[in-house]
Amino acid sequence: MRNLLLQLLILQGKPHPIAAQAPESNMNETVTEWSPALVTEAQQNIREKDLDSCLSVFLSCLQRMNSVLTVDATVIDYMSSLLVFDCAETVARVRCISDAQNVIDIIDLLTNNESFTTRCGPEAARKAAHLASAIFARVPLLQRSLFLNKPDGYLEGNLFPLETVFISKILDHNYVLPVLGIYHDQDQFGYGIVFERIENAAEWLRRSRPNFITRMRVMFEIARIIRYIHSMGIALYAGSIELGCFFLDSNFRVKIKFMGLFTWCVREATICGRTDSVLWPPRTPCTCESNISDFAMLFHRVCFGGHNENFHSRLGEPALQLIERCRDSQSRPTMEDVIKEMETWNLT
C-alpha cells in the first residue's frame, strides 16, 4: 500500500523550484550571516509556546515562500522552536500533504546546513531528521530536490532505493557521503554522490598496508558510523558493511556510501511479506543485529586477515573477544556498547 501511495504522489506531483545548494560536509559549507532583528521578530511571532502555535507560524512561513524554500534566521528559529515537541505529536497536527511536503523540503535544506547546526547544535539536526522520518512513515513524501531528472519507468520497479536516497539526504554528512539525488539514464538508475577528497577504504588498505593500530582506528570510525545510523532508527542493507562501501580522508575520518532503510519499514515489509532479495539475501536480514554481525566479520578481515605484519598483542585479544561477542546472537552487544569498549583501548 505504501508503494502504491508513493507512486501516486510522485505521478501527481508537479516540479517546484527549491533554492538549495549541492550537499556538502558541514566542514566545507559557507556560514549564512545572522540578523538578530530577524531572530527577535521570529521569537515575538511565537506568542504561545505550545505546539499548535509553533506549527501554525512555521507552516505559514513556509507557505509564504511560494515553494521557493530558503534557509534564513527566521526559518531556523521556527524550526528550533518546533523541535522542542515530540515528533509524533507534530506530525499528527500536519493536516495536508502540501504542508508535509514543505516540512520535508525545508528539513532537507537544514539538516546539513552549517548555520542551522552552529545555531541549534547537532542534536537539533538529529531531531529534524527524526521528524522527516515520522512524516515519511505517515505519508511517503520525497524531497522535491531528489530527482535529478525525470524518473520515467523507475516507478515500475523496487521503490526501496528511493527511500535510501531520501534517508541519505537527511543524515549527517559527517558520517555519510552527500547524495545529490537520483537520476535516470538509458534505462539505468543511479545516485549522484559527492565523493569529496577521499579514498575508497578497500583501495587504501591494498595500497598502504597500514599497521595494526591504524587498522583499528579505521574500524573504530566505521563503528561510529554504524552507531549513528542505528541511533536514527535505520538499518543498513544486508551486505553493505563491506570495506568498499567506506571512504576515508588523509586524517582517517571515514564516511559510508549509505544503503539502508528505516527499521520500521523493514518490520512493515516483513509483516506484508515483502521479503525480496534486495532486503533479505540468504541468512542476512536487513536489521541492526545483522549489521553488528557484519561489522564483526569486517573487523576480523581488516585486522586479523593474514596480511598484517604488525599485530598488536595488547589490543589483539580484547578485539578478538569483542568480535566473537558481536557474532554471538545470545551475547551480541549494541553498537553503543561496541564504541564504549573500543574507547577504552586508547587507539590514538
Question: For the segment 1-23, what is each residue's pLDDT rounded down to a tens digit?
Answer: 555 455 445 444 443 433 333 33
Mean pLDDT of 149-172: 70
Least confident of 119-133, 147-161, 186-200: 147-161
Is residue 207 domain-shared with residue 293, that is, in the same domain?
yes
pLDDT at 81: 93
Helix (H) / strand (E) containing 234: strand 234-236
The residues, ordered by sequence, that sit 6+ positions from 95 with a Cβ below 8 Å of its Cβ are: none
Query: Does 285 reside within a domain?
Result: yes
* Residue 91 and residue 51 in contact, taking contact as beta carbons nearer than 8 Å: no
The residues, ordered by sequence, that sit 6+ positions from 153 with a Cβ below 8 Å of its Cβ are: 184, 187
pLDDT at 118: 94
Kindly report the CATH number assigned to the domain that includes residue 323. Answer: 1.10.510.10
Count of domains observed in the chain = 2
Is the pLDDT reported for residue 51 higher than 70? Answer: yes
Query: Does 226 reside within a domain?
Result: yes
128-152: pLDDT as tens digits: 999 999 999 998 888 887 776 555 4
Is the pLDDT reported for residue 46 higher than 50? Answer: no
Mean pLDDT of 201-205: 92
Is residue 338 domain-shared with residue 206, that is, in the same domain?
yes
> Residue 181 corresponds to which cell in the numbers above?
539525488
- Which is more confidently placed, 134 or 178? 134
CA distance 313 to 100: 55
Please identify, among 104, 129, 144, the residue that sits at the C-terminal boundary of a domain: 144
pLDDT at 22: 34
Q: How far is CA 309 from the centre of its chain?
A: 36
Query: Does 185 reside within a domain?
Result: no
Domain that holds residue 304: 197-344
pTM score of the predicted model: 0.80
pLDDT at 165: 86
Q: Per-residue confidence at 88, pLDDT binned at 50, 70, 90?
A: very high
CA distance 153 to 170: 25
Q: Per-residue confidence at 68, pLDDT binned at 50, 70, 90?
A: confident
